[in-house]
Amino acid sequence: MSGLMAGKRGLIMGLANDKSLAWGIAQKLHEQGAEMAFSYQGEALKKRVGPLAEKVGSDFLIECDVSDMDAMDRAFGELESRWGKLDFLVHAIGFSDKNELRGKYVDTSLDNFLMTMNISAYSLVAAAKRAAPLMSEGGSIVTLTYYGAEKVVPHYNVMGVAKAALETSVQYLANDLGPDNIRVNAISAGPIKTLAASGIGDFRYILKWNELNAPLRRNVTIDDVGGAGLYLCSDLSSGVTGETHHVDAGYHVVGMKQEDAPDI
């Protein structure tokens, strides 16, 4: 197959269904000839991930709960034994107790703080550590973050703190792995209705606010995110690392409500 990604192999972590940001990225990578493996959390998700993987020509499914380091070892072990090398890794994983994605950040429990940090931030570090030895010819690691890391977004709470840790991890990982020509970047996506997003309190209000106030006056789609994912996974971005790239219809540059935005 020809295309930007011809001959490149990568792991997609965090595909849940056809609304997932990971699906937007996987489709763009497939269009450009990438070969992909998909990791999933638990049997229930396997039933959904399997048919989607098939649509993009893959039968390589790997079970991996990213909070279980033995499962991470097994997942990257499977990649090594089947492929021997890896060119890219897409990390599209986040999780928190939805009861704490409403109300106030000050009420975050220690247990949920640690779990959210573990699954949403540390898992990138754990995945990068295991992916790097397989990226013997260089590689690209891409994760997904959100503006709630930079500014307070009501209800995003502990997830915002975890995304701040994730974005800083991108910088430290980029520095650690750069000498091996492994690039590490994040896409800061605008709000999109997905399974994970449905856990965030008043998410519909966030969507509407962004649509009315972003410079492009619309919300982004998983296609928009997919295009940026393709750019960051491919050699088109060969000089880019340690970056948080906003794909949010420009929302992050706006400091106040737009004059033409109605009250909501």
Return all residues near 159 (Cβ < 8 A) that are at least 6 apart: 94, 96, 101, 116, 120, 146, 148, 200
Q: How far apart are CA 85 and CA 63, in angstroms?
A: 19
122 is catalytic: no
How far, in whole angstroms, is CA 7 from its chain's centroid? 23
146 is catalytic: yes
Smallest gap, in angstroms, from Cβ of residue 135 to ligand NAD? 21
From the list 146, 147, 231, 251, the catalytic residue is 146
Of the pair 16, 135, the CB lying nearest ligand NAD is at 16
Smallest gap, in angstroms, from Cβ of residue 207 to ligand NAD? 8
Return all residues near 41 (Cβ < 8 A) that are at least 6 apart: 63, 64, 65, 66
Would you list which residues are annotated within the binding site? 14, 41, 65-66, 93, 163, 192-196
- Extract the tokens encoding 49: 């991930």
Q: How far apart are CA 138 and CA 88, in angstroms?
A: 9
Residues that bind ligand NAD (CB under 6 A): 14-16, 20-22, 41, 45, 65-67, 92-95, 119, 144-146, 189, 191-192, 194-197
Of the pair 92, 173, the CB lying nearest ligand NAD is at 92
Would you list which residues are annotated within the binding site for NAD(+)? 14, 41, 65-66, 93, 163, 192-196
Active site residues: 146, 156
